Amino acid sequence: MTTPPLIDQHGNHRQQHGAPIHHVIRFTTRGPERHPHAYLQCVTVRDCRKGELPLVEIKHANHPAYFFTDLTPDDADQLGDALKQAAQRAREVTDALQARWGL
């Protein structure tokens, strides 16, 4: 299996980090009950049409009405790990852009 390049021929980049983290709607005796369609997603993105350096995005996917997300401590750790991975990848994409085009 080959690893995809950090940037394509135009300088675009998009990569999800970690698995989506589902919103906890309540706790039951069996543990947290999660909303099947509301989750956080951590992504690094660089769009050549906007001419930006890569950004780390945290998206509330599939449910825009949620302005907060309740996380279990394990989910919070998972989100923290994904954010660290995304920040590192954004730096790597910036280095690749600078090496290729001097941006």
31-40 pLDDT, tens per residue?
888 888 788 8
pLDDT confidence of 65, banded at 50, 70, 90?
low
**H-helix or E-strand containing 34?**
strand 31-46
Q: Indicate the residue type of 59.
A: K
Could you state, in order of their start, the residue ranges of all structural domains in the chain? Answer: 14-101
Q: How far apart are CA 72 and CA 68, in angstroms?
A: 13
Q: pTM to 2 decimals?
A: 0.74
- Provide the 8-state DSSP code for 97: H
Q: Rg for the chain (alpha carbons), in Å?
A: 16
